[in-house]
Amino acid sequence: MSIREPVLRFLGHLLWPSSCSICGAMGVPACVECLLPLLSPPMPASLGDFPLETGGIHEGILRDFVLELKYGGDRTLGVAMGRALGRIFPKPSAEVLVPVPLHRDSVRGFNQSKAIAEGLCLEWGIPVSDCLEWREGRIAQTARKESERRNMPLDAMAVRRKGLAGKWAVLVDDVATTGTTLIRAGAAVENGGGRTVCAYTWTAVPKGGKG
């Protein structure tokens, strides 16, 4: 660790009092070094046209971090989670990281998937493009039954700005439940002229499990 990082942590602690929930380090909600031993990636899953890599099963402390990220209000936790993922997985052959968009009616002040993507960007050097949007207001997937999640409209998302044409893209989300959201995001990337090569999430819900 460089001298600059502890200094930035201390300054961050003065402005936003927080500490790592694992080791107690000041200025960060979680240290990347503390998150790494918690990750236990299962075998890649197939989402049809591309594979899904995930940091672990959506349970225990990994699930707790997702909930803290979503409802705790500190997006820097998502960046740390993304950096941890970026260290356990090799850099993919891709040109852009595309986070799943925040729902239009969300009251959250930031997109947790984008925060994770920014952490991956720091480790891999692949730029983030927040280029997808939901076509219409839609309640969060966590509020839906599994059958409703799988029946999401095929065109639920669209590309809201140009720039994906001809590019290989990596999708990023916090949790994969049925995989439908990522599949629809992949379809939007394809419609925008890009190609989805893989997807990464912090956790994945096993079949029959609950998010």
Residues 66-105 pLDDT 10s: 999 999 889 999 999 999 999 999 999 999 999 999 987 7
Helices 75-88 and 112-124, packing angle to 10 deg = 40
Helices 75-88 and 60-72, packing angle to 10 deg = 140
User: Is 20 or 98 the better-scoring residue by pLDDT?
Assistant: 98
Average pLDDT score, the chain: 87
Instruction: Please give the Cα distance from 65 to 181 (Å, whole number).
Output: 20
Q: Where are the beta strands (DSSP E) in the chain?
A: 45-46, 51-54, 96-99, 132-134, 157-159, 168-176, 195-204
Q: Name the region of 81 (left: φ>0; alpha: ψ -120 to 50; beta: rest).
A: alpha
pTM for the whole structure: 0.86
Instruction: Please give the Cα distance from 211 to 209 (Å, whole number).
Output: 7
Residue 163: pLDDT band (50, 70, 90) is confident
Residue 11: pLDDT band (50, 70, 90) is low
- Cβ contacts of residue 185 below 8 Å, gap of 6+? 98, 100, 132, 157, 171, 173, 196, 199
pLDDT digits (tens, 9 = 90+) for 106-121: 777 799 999 999 999 9
Residue 8: pLDDT band (50, 70, 90) is low
What's the pLDDT at 60?
96
What's the pLDDT at 105?
73
The yes-or-no verdict on residue 211 having pLDDT over 80 is no
Q: Lowest mean pLDDT of 59-73, 115-129, 142-156, name the range.
A: 142-156
Average pLDDT over residues 172-184: 96
From the list 45, 36, 35, 39, the residue with the least C-alpha distance to 177 is 45
